[in-house]
Amino acid sequence: MPGVIICITIALATSFISDHYGGPTMLYALLFGMTLHFLREEGRCLAGVEFASRTILRLGVALLGGAVYSETVSGTWHRANCNGCPWRNPDHNHGCRSGPYAWP
């Protein structure tokens, strides 16, 4: 499916540009998608682009939601970012897992 290959190429290119030059990946993806929109109307790429825009995108959103949920439930996000917390104070309970007011 040439459409899926094009979508994967756009995703890799936007990630590369975002990592090396800064800026939001989603903005770059939108710009690349707008410039290559004409491929969606072409018969050869249509099936692959539709598959990527429906099935693969839904799978990615579901996996991202699962990752956010698991980090929230396990508390790994807060533990990873707790050292830079401006309220890191033993007298103030802000949900941190350290200090006398640590929650289990």
* pLDDT tens profile 49-81: 888 888 988 998 888 888 777 767 666 555 555
pTM above 0.85, yes or no: no
CA Rg value for the chain: 21
Residue 56 and residue 11 in contact, taking contact as beta carbons nearer than 8 Å: no
For residue 16, is pLDDT > 90?
yes
Q: Is the dihedral of CA 29, 32, 35, 41 positive or negative?
A: negative
> What token pair was written down for 77?
């996000």
- Percent of the chain having pLDDT more than 70? 68
- What is the reported pLDDT for 31? 92
